[in-house]
Structure 1
């Protein structure tokens, strides 16, 4: 995990790598998001900030050092500044770094204010690694599209670039009866112990849900190739299956 006071030098990255600043006042959450970033190919956590002032200081220092941050994952509810205020101060300092808001806040007024400050995407907690990855991949495609237009552009080229930021509804839809919050809880639980195999019964007991419910979510994750499923040997009676997080998901 990178030291929050140290910015990863750009010289250690490939030319197309995207350097990310994670901003969240909850250390465990910030660490989890940083790990998520590092699991997405082409993205690297450059630094972690625990509040708005620290984020602004890190961004300014990175810019001056020649290792500018490319993307900020910005929590909206920080102890010293609201995320929107951080975004406004960034723009006031001439920092055009792209921002993805990560928050549990669902207030439409806050969302509108976030968009007005140039925040390109909005990710609502809790979320799955798949949803997180999609936002980062959307950002990568957006940057690639913008670069490909050269110094001049066209309406079609701009439309194509901005369309990359829109998440496909079909890609995030869940089967009837499954809810994103429980799916995120199960996904995070599996990824917190990636080498461990759990049955639906064991998972249900650990998360306080029924075996049937746990199995429905596990089967959905298996169909999505997010978990590995295998029979558990040595059990009597009907076959029992166990599941573990799939590498890279």
Structure 2
């Protein structure tokens, strides 16, 4: 059973692996908390270990004065050490993919497989991020909620009852925490490091992703030696939400390879 608690202000869930089963470490996207993985985790074998966490300034995790992708990776490493996890599969969505790109190098001896979803080595530019940061700090996330959600989900999913849940999760994210993670994404560029990733890597993207379009994600996959690239139909920026069965199947296939 997965238990939820805090360590050094980091709210997280942990389920130890049984025997030689793998442990999966999940990192979330901007504007979501660890519940974004609920549907995928529910489809994984009960013997598999799980570690998932709320980023600083998101969900129930304590904020910091400033953030970077490196400090977010520090937090993930602190939880790995806290739970004595010496081998793991890194699974990162959007900004979580940036975090897992760092761990693939910083914890090269511990990460056995890498899964990157709807992410890239560089996401956006200051011209895109700075106005969003200023607007969120001045007017709150709800002021741009419609724009973000249209980029996250395909039209068919926006017509479901579930859609309201994700709007609530996004708009209840603390504005300063959201803005700080935007700054961390803006300032990160790990393009030069992609060729150094030596883990078996699966890169997936929703075919309707308007936040990290398939062409951008595919270019990232092509820069990682031996990486496999897959587009997921009928999904946008969060295929783990819109197509959890497909996502979980790809994940299990990759770990078993």
The structure with higher relative contact order (CA 8 Å, sep 6+) is 2
Q: TM-score, structure 2 length as denominator?
A: 0.41
Between Structure 1 and Structure 2, whose CA radius of gyration is higher? 1
Q: TM-score, structure 1 length as denominator?
A: 0.42
